[in-house]
């Protein structure tokens, strides 16, 4: 699809306005993008710690002009790119950089960029948990010109404890041969963003879910084998942050299990003047109670004066829901 230059200018202007709020911290960046980084590790065998550290370093934790206007979190230059472009001073004046539709597309393209270029092939001989070897290897392969690049990545990983994400056990979400096969039978016929085509490939492979309605009137789906918050958010046109909020997501729940309830609407808040108390028939955490009863976890914690959402409650305990 051919885009007029004026459309690009409007797109960049709108992006700048939409992202003119306060700056994101490194910790907030990790919280927002760690799930996507772990998914990319499952698909491409690139350590999630390296992906996150590069994203933080290359995009100034998502605050750089390139990240805000171009959704480009890894500083990837055009190099034969057929999508939108923007120009930015780097090693040279006015260098060409890729522009993505979403930040997720930037993550996907980063993985493809490393996986498909022969100069990075030796990196995949390293263990996924050896982030130091990967950091030094990226500099050796020419990803960056800064001689301190490896140590900068290592410092970020160790300061934020990002190596824990390299040990995440996560199902193999999409088989690589299937992705390649889809590309063969669906050749690109128009000049559009390569990242957008990758996004379409992922969407074609998503599971479809039957929408159910809780007795409290909140819509939800039941997760299938290999599901992730990211996949479900894309299927229903939600932002990751929305889905996390609807399900009281935190870092203790980064992998969905088959049979998990996933709300696609906000859960109810407790009614102050109508009391409801249940007796547990099995051991559950407060977050499990929240999910099974479609009640916001903050309300349940407040009503029961319990601060730890993951504290296990015994069979027979009484829990106030409203």
Which part of the chain has CATH 3.10.350.10?
Answer: 212-262
Please state which of the ranges 147-151, 152-156, 196-200 shows the lowest mean pLDDT.
196-200
Residue 270: pLDDT band with limits 50, 70, 90 = low
Could you read off the pLDDT of 179-193 as tens digits, one per residue?
Answer: 333 334 344 443 444
Residue 47: pLDDT band with limits 50, 70, 90 = very high
HSE toward the beta carbon, residue 212, CA cutoff 13 A: 13
- Secondary structure (DSSP) of 217-260: S-EEEE--TT--HHHHHHHTT--HHHHHHHTT--TT--S--TT-
Give 264's DSSP letter: S
CA angle 2, 73, 229 (to 5 degrees): 95
Residue 239: count of CB within 10 angstroms of its CB? 11
CA–CA separation, 38 vs 45, rounded Å?
A: 10
CATH of span 5-167: 1.10.530.10
Look at the pTM and tell me if it is higher than 0.85.
no
Q: How far from each other are the two terminal CA atoms of the chain, in whole angstroms?
A: 53
Q: Which two tokens stand for residue 317?
A: 């305990």
Give the pLDDT confidence score for residue 111 in this predicted structure.
94
Instruction: Assess whether pLDDT exceeds 70 at residue 87.
Output: yes
- What is 212-262's CATH superfamily? LysM domain (3.10.350.10)
Residue 148 neighbours by CB under 8 Å, 6+ apart:
none
Which part of the chain has CATH 1.10.530.10?
Answer: 5-167
CATH of span 277-320: 3.10.350
């Amino acid at each position: 699809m051919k885009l007029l230059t004026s459309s690009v200018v409007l797109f960049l202007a709108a992006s700048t306005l939409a992202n003119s709020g306060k700056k994101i911290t490194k910790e907030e960046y990790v919280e927002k993008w760690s799930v996507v980084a772990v998914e990319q590790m499952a698909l491409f065998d690139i350590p999630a710690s390296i992906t996150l550290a590069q994203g933080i370093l290359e995009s100034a934790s998502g605050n750089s002009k390139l990240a805000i206007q171009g959704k480009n979190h890894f500083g990837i230059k055009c190099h034969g790119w057929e999508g939108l472009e923007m120009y930015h001073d780097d090693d040279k004046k006015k260098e060409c950089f890729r522009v993505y539709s979403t930040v997720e597309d930037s993550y996907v393209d980063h993985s493809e960029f490393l996986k498909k270029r022969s100069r990075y092939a030796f990196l995949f001989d390293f263990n996924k948990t050896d982030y130091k070897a990967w950091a030094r290897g990226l500099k050796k392969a020419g990803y960056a010109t800064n001689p301190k690049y490896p140590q900068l990545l290592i410092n970020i990983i160790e300061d934020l404890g990002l190596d824990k994400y390299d040990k995440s056990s996560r199902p193999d979400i999409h088989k690589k041969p299937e992705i390649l096969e889809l590309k063969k039978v669906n050749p690109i016929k128009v000049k559009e963003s390569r990242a957008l085509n990758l996004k379409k490939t992922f969407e074609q492979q998503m599971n479809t879910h039957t929408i159910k309605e809780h007795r409290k009137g909140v819509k939800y789906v039941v997760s299938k084998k290999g599901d992730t918050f990211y996949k479900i958010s894309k299927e229903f046109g939600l932002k990751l942050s929305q889905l996390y909020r609807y399900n009281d997501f935190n870092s203790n729940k980064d992998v969905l299990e088959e049979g998990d309830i996933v709300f696609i609407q906000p859960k109810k808040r407790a009614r102050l003047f109508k009391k409801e108390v249940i007796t547990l028939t099995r051991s559950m955490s407060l977050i499990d109670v929240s999910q099974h009863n479609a009640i916001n976890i903050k309300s349940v914690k407040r009503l029961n004066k319990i601060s730890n959402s993951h504290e296990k409650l015994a069979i027979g305990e009484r829990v106030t829901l409203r």
